[in-house]
């Protein structure tokens, strides 16, 4: 008899967005004439930049001729893309990497979920709360998260660092050692950021405690303010304690195309039980060569085009478009007396629900009374209770209409 990985059975019944989809379906059946505006799931609506489309057409033509055809590519990604990343995302900020420190992937979800493959099952975990659910669920799947405490909604081997309006969404550094800490900045779901000085405290903690930081910078391209770091490697010493994840999904509309990358510096090591130090770059490379066969050539050519002069202009236009949505949303919601966070360096608006109204209650009321869909904050972790997330990724007219409806509803 084949036995299942029973850790999977510990995962709560369904995924947040399936619960939301079910509620929307029920609403649609009972209100077939109502038109719903969806500002819930964090998916983009602007089409791909023309520079990427042209690069993909050209890459398709390469595939049509024997002399330019590409079969299996390097598991780590093509040098043309890796070099564009190093030059534009890092060297431009005074950070230097060799090609073998960058691993191209099919999006940040895969690698933030898979990175646990190279880490022992009994490492302790620290997460900011609320949090992008993949970090927790992927640890549950291999048993690292422990058991779910049903009363609190927390996992027994996970240290939660609440981020709420009370601490201005700045997680407090744990007063004990944690082996692995997930940080995501700009943050999904709260849309908040850390300054360089605040992030430095985490790097210092990690270096002092031999902690590995898994830094998710999927929303880096949305940063507008000066003092917000785009990469954890802007902080001295971070190459010795952090892996960074980046994604082209929100930067350039690649949610459907699928491409991102992971940086695993050569200096970064972790221990064995006998006290040896092992290169995480070597382990990750080994893992990728066994379990991943590379991102498609056509996709990588599209990603390379993001860094062309035309590509840079086009992605900036798209990001500006979403950030203008965020501005409109934030202003409207504040004008009706709601407390609103995020939306300045990130395409997420994090709303405090009125006193006594739970995240799901707010969701239901907004769906039934304003016909607008958002995401209940509690779906991202216990400290998300009493909050609600809207995304700024919608089309402008939908976004404006949604704000009009919410204003009338209030
Ligand atoms: N990390 C964070 C914080 C996200 O919010 C998302 C997607 O919403 C991802 C990673 C996944 O991105 P990708 O589309 O690159 O898999």
pLDDT digits (tens, 9 = 90+) for 350-400: 999 999 999 999 999 999 999 999 999 999 999 999 999 999 999 999 999
User: Which two structure tokens, joined as six digits, stand for 308?
Assistant: 């062309």
Which pLDDT does position 14 carry in this prediction? 65
Same domain, yes or no, for 314 and 303?
no
Same domain, yes or no, for 325 and 303?
no
| Residue 253 CB–ligand 1 contact under 6 Å | no
Same domain, yes or no, for 80 and 28?
no
Answer yes or no: are the C-beta atoms of 215 and 131 closer than 8 Å. Answer: no
- Cα 112 to middle of ligand 1, angstroms: 9
Of 285, 308, 331, the residue that ends a domain is 308
Same domain, yes or no, for 186 and 335?
no
CA distance 40 to 399: 12
User: What atom in ligand 1 is closest to the CA of residue 42?
Assistant: 8
Same domain, yes or no, for 145 and 263?
yes
- Cα 148 to middle of ligand 1, angstroms: 24
Same domain, yes or no, for 244 and 334?
no
| Residue 380 CB–ligand 1 contact under 6 Å | no
Please name the residue whose Cα sits nearest to atom 8 of ligand 1.
Answer: 42
Answer yes or no: are the C-beta atoms of 353 and 16 closer than 8 Å. Answer: no
For 213, half-sphere exposure in the C-beta direction (CA atoms, 13 angstrom radius) is 31
Counting the structural domains of the chain, the total is 2
The 10s digit of each residue's pLDDT in 136-161 is 999 999 999 999 998 898 999 999 99
CA distance 52 to 248: 12
Q: What angle (nearest 5°) sits at the alpha carbon of residue 384, between those of residues 154 and 401?
A: 150
- 101 φ, ψ to 5°? -95, -5
Is 105 inside a domain boundary? yes
Render each residue's pLDDT in the chain as its tens digit; 410 residues: 999 999 999 998 667 888 899 999 999 999 999 999 999 988 999 999 999 999 999 999 999 999 999 999 999 999 999 999 999 999 999 999 999 999 999 999 999 999 999 999 999 999 999 999 999 999 999 999 999 998 898 999 999 999 999 999 999 999 999 999 999 999 999 999 999 999 999 999 999 999 999 999 999 999 999 999 999 999 999 999 999 999 999 999 999 999 999 999 999 999 999 999 999 999 999 999 999 999 999 999 999 999 999 999 999 999 999 999 999 999 999 999 999 999 999 999 999 999 999 999 999 999 999 999 999 999 999 999 999 999 999 999 999 999 999 999 98
- CATH value at residue 298: 3.40.640.10
Same domain, yes or no, for 181 and 248?
yes
- What is the best residue among 132, 223, 245, 381 to mutate for testing ligand 1's pocket, by most ligand atoms within 8 Å of CB? 132
| Residue 42 CB–ligand 1 contact under 6 Å | yes
Please name the residue whose Cα sits nearest to atom 2 of ligand 1.
Answer: 218
Is 230 inside a domain boundary? yes
| Residue 389 CB–ligand 1 contact under 6 Å | no
User: What atom in ligand 1 is closest to the CA of residue 247?
Assistant: 15
Same domain, yes or no, for 66 and 38?
no
Which pLDDT does position 18 carry in this prediction? 83
Which pLDDT does position 150 carry in this prediction? 86
User: What atom in ligand 1 is closest to the CA of residue 110?
Assistant: 16
Of 246, 276, 308, the residue that ends a domain is 308
Which strands, in side-by-side order, build the sheet including 260-263? 102-105, 260-263, 242-247, 212-216, 180-184, 125-129, 158-162
- Cα 179 to middle of ligand 1, angstroms: 23
Same domain, yes or no, for 339 and 320?
yes
Which pLDDT does position 26 carry in this prediction? 96
Same domain, yes or no, for 22 and 161?
no
Q: What is the dihedral of CA 325, 327, 332, 335, to 10 degrees?
A: 180
Is 157 inside a domain boundary? yes
| Residue 247 CB–ligand 1 contact under 6 Å | yes
Is 1 inside a domain boundary? no
Is 373 inside a domain boundary? yes
Same domain, yes or no, for 346 and 202?
no
Is 108 inside a domain boundary? yes
Is 404 inside a domain boundary? yes
User: What atom in ligand 1 is closest to the CA of residue 132?
Assistant: 3
| Residue 249 CB–ligand 1 contact under 6 Å | yes
Same domain, yes or no, for 85 and 28?
no
User: What atom in ligand 1 is closest to the CA of residue 43?
Assistant: 8
| Residue 184 CB–ligand 1 contact under 6 Å | yes
Answer yes or no: are the C-beta atoms of 46 and 253 closer than 8 Å. Answer: yes
Is 234 inside a domain boundary? yes
- Cα 235 to middle of ligand 1, angstroms: 23
- What is the best residue among 17, 41, 107, 110 to mutate for testing ligand 1's pocket, by most ligand atoms within 8 Å of CB? 107
Q: Which domain holds residue 336?
A: 6-47+310-409
- Cα 41 to middle of ligand 1, angstroms: 11
Collapsed DSSP state (helix, strand, coil) of residue 38: strand
| Residue 108 CB–ligand 1 contact under 6 Å | yes
| Residue 260 CB–ligand 1 contact under 6 Å | yes
């Amino acid at each position: 008899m084949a036995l299942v990985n029973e850790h999977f059975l510990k995962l709560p019944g369904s995924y947040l967005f399936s619960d939301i989809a079910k509620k929307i379906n029920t609403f649609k059946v009972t209100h077939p004439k109502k038109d719903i505006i969806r500002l819930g799931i964090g998916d983009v609506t602007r089409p791909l930049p023309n520079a990427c489309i042209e690069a993909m057409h050209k890459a398709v033509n390469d595939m049509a001729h024997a002399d330019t055809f590409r079969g299996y590519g390097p598991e780590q990604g093509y040098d043309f893309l890796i070099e564009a990343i190093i030059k534009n995302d890092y060297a431009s900020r005074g950070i230097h990497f060799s090609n073998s420190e960058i691993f191209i992937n099919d999006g940040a979800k895969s690698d933030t979920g898979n990175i646990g493959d190279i880490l022992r099952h009994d490492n302790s975990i620290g997460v900011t709360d609320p949090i992008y659910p993949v970090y927790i669920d992927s640890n549950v799947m291999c048993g690292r998260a422990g058991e779910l405490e049903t009363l609190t909604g927390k996992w027994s081997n996970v240290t939660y660092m609440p981020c709420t309006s009370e601490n201005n969404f700045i997680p407090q550094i744990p007063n004990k050692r944690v082996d692995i800490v997930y940080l995501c900045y700009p943050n999904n779901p709260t849309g908040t950021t850390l300054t360089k000085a605040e992030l430095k405290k985490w790097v210092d903690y990690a270096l002092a405690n031999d902690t590995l930081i898994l830094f998710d910078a999927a929303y880096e391209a949305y940063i507008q303010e000066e003092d917000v770091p785009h990469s954890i490697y802007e902080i001295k010493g971070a190459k010795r304690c952090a892996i960074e994840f980046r994604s082209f999904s929100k930067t350039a509309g690649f949610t459907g195309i699928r491409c991102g990358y992971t940086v695993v510096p050569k200096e970064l090591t972790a221990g064995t039980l006998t006290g040896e130090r092992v290169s995480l770059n070597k382990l990750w490379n080994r893992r990728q060569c066994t379990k991943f066969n590379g991102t498609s050539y056509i996709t990588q050519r599209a990603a390379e085009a993001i860094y062309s002069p035309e590509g840079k202009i086009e992605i900036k236009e798209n990001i500006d478009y979403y950030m203008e949505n965020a501005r409109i949303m934030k202003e409207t919601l504040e004008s009706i007396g709601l407390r609103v966070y995020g939306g300045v360096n990130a395409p997420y608006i994090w709303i405090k629900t009125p006193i006594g109204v739970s995240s799901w209650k707010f969701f239901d009321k907004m769906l039934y009374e304003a016909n607008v869909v958002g995401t209940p904050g509690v779906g991202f972790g216990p400290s998300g209770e009493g909050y609600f997330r809207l995304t700024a990724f919608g089309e402008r007219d939908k976004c404006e209409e949604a704000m009009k409806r919410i204003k009338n509803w209030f």
